[in-house]
Amino acid sequence: MASKYIVYGGSQSYFSMKLVAAMKFYGAPYEFRGKSPDVREMVESRSGTHQVPVLQTPENWMIGDTTPILSMLDERYPGRRMFPLGKQGVLVNMVEEFFDEWIARTMVHYRWHYPESARFASEQMVRGNNPDIDEATRQAMQEQITDWGGRACRATGTDSVIQQKAAEEEYERILVSMEEQLGESRYLLGERPCAVDCIMLGGLWAHTWNDPDPKKLVAKFPRVIDWCENRAEQWDGAGELAAFPEGTGFSRFVLKEAVTTYKPFALCNADALSHNAKAFKAVIYGEEVSYLTREYPERSRQMIIDRINNRLSGDDKEAVVNWLSDVNLQDCFAP
């Protein structure tokens, strides 16, 4: 049996860097590798996905999807759980869901709607997995990646100028809340990291503190920069998360945002799936927006419902259901 984990992914990938952050917090022995042409077929066939990241375990399992990966690693590193047990775990999961399934679209928008960032990121991607590539092939591959980026923007609803502007304003509000929270606690939900910190670091490392255009915005927030470059990784294993249901100012801010954005998107996507519709429309920021129907956001939402249904005792479940009503997200997550 191998003595370490291998993370196959890309340093420009939101979810790859989320997993890297988690591996650092777990203190797990790991190696990061790009999904280069010589391993691509093996990784994809064994994991059953073309997406990154994929984690190869010491037992030689190949697993995709960061949220179940973190749940597995929580059992292996119980003193360093990224999803705490009980009611706190639901709170963490819901805040993480907002960034996994909603803010991912903002990362896509910043990267592919800004020409300088698109050139920068596509060259990093091509060079990272193909270091010896010739110039003509490099250019062709960059054009192919950039074309995919444009399609991804359309599929995730950031085609219109209204949506682009609103998404950027939303991300700036997130950075303002992060800056405030990091002045009060070491991490975003308390004095120790959790899955929310992993996805936030993934976004900064892979996208907004990497790509030239969003980097200009992030540069206005010194605590966020210091956290993602230095402080976040300096965890000694101590500390506690904020109590349920109060959470932190950051978690309360995120859940309030989710009511007007993530919630209508997730429920309309679920309805479209139930009718086998390929696309759907939802009203976001006062504009009717078209989205490609996707299975994964619904599967991810159901994971949270399953957590509430199957991992909580009667009193804890009742407390969570009441809290969901208080934060106006009961129709998304109440069992």
For a pLDDT cut of 70, what percent of the chain falls above it? 98
In angstroms, rounded to a whole number, what is the distance separating the alpha carbons of residues 187 and 146?
34
Give yes or no: residues 75 and 219 share one domain: no
In angstroms, rounded to a whole number, what is the distance separating the alpha carbons of residues 324 and 196?
19
Which of 53, 80, 107 is where one domain is finished?
80
Give the pairing of strands 54-56 and 5-9.
antiparallel
pLDDT tens digit sequence for 226-238 = 999 999 999 999 9
Nearest residue to 163 (alpha-carbon basis) of 281, 279, 255, 49: 281
Give yes or no: residues 41 and 124 share one domain: no
Give yes or no: residues 106 and 234 share one domain: yes
Give the pairing of strands 5-9 and 30-34.
parallel
Query: 281 with 288: CB under 8 angstroms?
Result: yes
Q: Give the 3-state secondary structure of residue 210.
A: coil
Residue 269's pLDDT is 98
Q: Please give the order of strands across the beta sheet that includes 30-34.
A: 30-34, 5-9, 54-56, 62-64
The CATH code of the domain that includes 16 is: 3.40.30.10
Nearest residue to 292 (alpha-carbon basis) of 148, 159, 155: 155
Residue 130's pLDDT is 67
- Place 68 in a pLDDT band, splitting at 50, 70 and 90: confident
Give yes or no: residues 59 and 146 share one domain: no
Is 90 exceeded by the pLDDT of residue 77?
Answer: yes
Is 70 exceeded by the pLDDT of residue 266?
Answer: yes
Which of 80, 102, 126 is where one domain is finished?
80
Give yes or no: residues 238 and 146 share one domain: yes
Q: How many domains does the chain have?
A: 2
Query: 83 with 89: CB under 8 angstroms?
Result: yes
Give yes or no: residues 54 and 90 share one domain: no
Average pLDDT over residues 63-67: 92
Is 60 exceeded by the pLDDT of residue 39?
Answer: yes
Residue 129's pLDDT is 64
Q: Helix-strand-coil percent breakdown of the chain, rounded to 5? A: 65, 10, 25
Half-sphere exposure of 123 (CA within 13 A, CB side): 10
Give yes or no: residues 28 and 174 share one domain: no
- Place 37 in a pLDDT band, splitting at 50, 70 and 90: confident
In angstroms, rounded to a whole number, what is the distance separating the alpha carbons of residues 194 and 62?
23
Give yes or no: residues 93 and 14 share one domain: no
* Total-model pTM: 0.96
Give yes or no: residues 172 and 298 share one domain: yes
Peptide bond into 37 cis (omega under 30): no
Query: 261 with 170: CB under 8 angstroms?
Result: yes
Residue 40, amino acid: R
Which of 80, 97, 125 is where one domain is finished?
80
pLDDT tens digit sequence for 159-212 = 999 999 999 999 999 999 999 999 999 999 999 999 999 999 999 999 999 999
- Parent domain of 108: 86-333
Residue 181's pLDDT is 98
What does R_g of the chain's alpha carbons equal in angstroms? 19
Give 131's contacts (C-beta < 8 A, 6+ positions apart): none
Give yes or no: residues 69 and 149 share one domain: no
Give yes or no: residues 248 and 156 share one domain: yes
Give yes or no: residues 96 and 65 share one domain: no
